Amino acid sequence: MFSTNELSRPHGACLQRDVSCWGESFDRSANPMTESFVHPALFYRDAEDYLSATVPFVVEGLAEGEPVAVAVPPPNLALLRDALATFADRIVFHDMSLVGRNPGRIIPGVLRRFADSHPGRHVRIIGEPMWPSRTDEEYPACAIHEALVNHAFLGRDATILCPFNAYRLSAEVLRDAEAAHPLVVDEHGPRPSEHFGPDGLISRYNRPLNPPPEGAASTTITGTVANARKFTKEHALRAGFDPRRLDDLVLAVTELVTNSVEHGGGTSTLHLWSDDNGYLCQVSDTGYISDPLAGRLPVGPDRPGGRGLLVVNHLADLVRLHTSPNGTTVQLRFAWSQANNELET
C-alpha cells in the first residue's frame, strides 16, 4: 500500500513518465476535440508500472476534492483496492469484467452515470475496458467504445485514464488505442498521439457481421412484436437458455424488433441460434442508424422514447452492430454462464 507521502517519491522505471502531478502533465489544449475533457491512454508493462501511474492519478484527484471512480478488470482492481485502501471510502470501484462485459454498456452505465451524478464538478475515472482475455468477437466493440468516449464527453469537465497492457496486448490494439486517445503515456512520458482519429476508428470497425450459421432459426416480423416474443421464448427454452435470463432476452429482442417497426422500414428478419459460448439473436432491417452514440447515452425520465438500444446494451453480454444506408444488423450474445449485469460499488 502507498501512503500519501510515498506517492511523492519515485516508484520504478515508469517514474520517467513524470506523471507525479497529473494536473500539470497534460496540456488540455493538446486535445483537438475539447479542452475540458482529457482522455489519455496509459501503456503499462507490469504491476509496478501500473500502480506508479494510476495511484498518483487517483490520489491527486482526491486531494483536489474531485470525485474518483475506478473501473478495471479483476487483477488490476485488486491491486488498486490494496494500494488505495486508505482512501477506499472516497472511491467508487467497479469490476469492469462485470459492468463492462458488453462494451456498449460502459459509457451510459459506468462513465456517464458517474460523471452525471456529480454535475458541475471535474471527475476522474480510470477505465480499462480492454484486457488480454477479451475475445476477437468482443474486440471491435471495445475499439468503438474507446473512440465514442471522445464524443460522449465532448465539452465535459472530466479526465478518463484508460490503461492498456503494452506487454500482453497486440500491436493492433495499441495502434487502435492511439487512434482513440488524443494523449498517450508510455515509457517515454506523456505525449500527444500522432494517430488520433476516433471517427476513422469507428468507421473501420463498422463491419458487416458474420451471417447466421446454417440451421439458425429465422422468421420475418412485420407490424407486431408479439410473434417475435413468442418465437424467441420457445426457441431459447428448447436450446437450453437459462430461464432466469429469459425475460432479459425477450425484452432485448422486443426492443430491437420495435425499433425495426418504427424506424427500420416496418419489417425485420430475426435469427436465433446458439454455440458453445452462448445464445445469439440477430435482427436485420432496412433502416440506418446515423448517430454512432445511439444507445450509448443515458436517457432522462422526462424524455419519451429513445431507450431501445440503451436497454439492449444493458441487458446483453455483447452487442455488435453494423449499419449503412443499405440497412442495419444488430447481433446480441447472451453467455451461457450467468452474468451479473448489476453495477456494484
For 322, list phi and psi in degrees, rounded to 5: -130, 130
Residue 30: what pLDDT?
A: 52
Low-confidence ranges of the chain (pLDDT < 70): 1-35, 301-306, 338-345
Does an H or E element contain 312, and which? helix 308-315
Question: Which CATH class for the 217-335 domain?
Answer: alpha beta
Q: What's the Cα-to-Cα distance from 101 to each of 85, 94, 158, 333, rounded to whole Å?
A: 25, 12, 23, 11
In this structure, the strands spanning 318-324 and 278-285 are unpaired
Residue 265: predicted pLDDT: 79
pLDDT score, position 21: 53
Query: What are the cell numbers at 54?
Result: 494510476
Distance from the Cα of residue 261 to its chain's centroid: 28
pLDDT of the residue at 10:
32
DSSP per-residue letters across 131-192: -TT--TTTHHHHHHHHHHHHHHTTT--EEEEEEEETTTS-HHHHHHHHHH-SEEEETTEEEE
- Domain ranges for the chain: 6-204, 217-335
The class level of CATH for 6-204 reads: alpha beta
C-alpha gyration radius of the chain: 21
| Res 5: pLDDT | 36
| Alpha-carbon dihedral sign for residues 295, 313, 268, 325 | positive
pLDDT of residue 235: 96
> Does this chain's domain 6-204 share its CATH topology with 217-335?
no
Which residues lie across from 274 on neighbouring strands? 279
Q: Provide the grid cell at 262.
A: 418504427
Residue 120 is predicted with a pLDDT of: 94
| Pair 182, 32: CB distance under 8 Å | yes
Residues in the chain: 345
Question: What integer pLDDT is reported at residue 2 of this predicted model?
Answer: 33
Question: Hey, is 84 helix, strand or coil?
Answer: coil
How much is the pTM?
0.89
Q: Tell me the pLDDT tens digit for each residue of 42-93.
A: 999 999 999 999 999 999 999 999 999 999 999 999 999 999 999 999 999 9
pLDDT tens for each residue of 189-236: 999 999 999 999 999 999 999 999 999 999 998 877 899 999 999 999
- Using the CB atoms, write b or e for 205-230: b if 16+ within 10 Å: beeeeeebeeebbeeebeeebeebbe
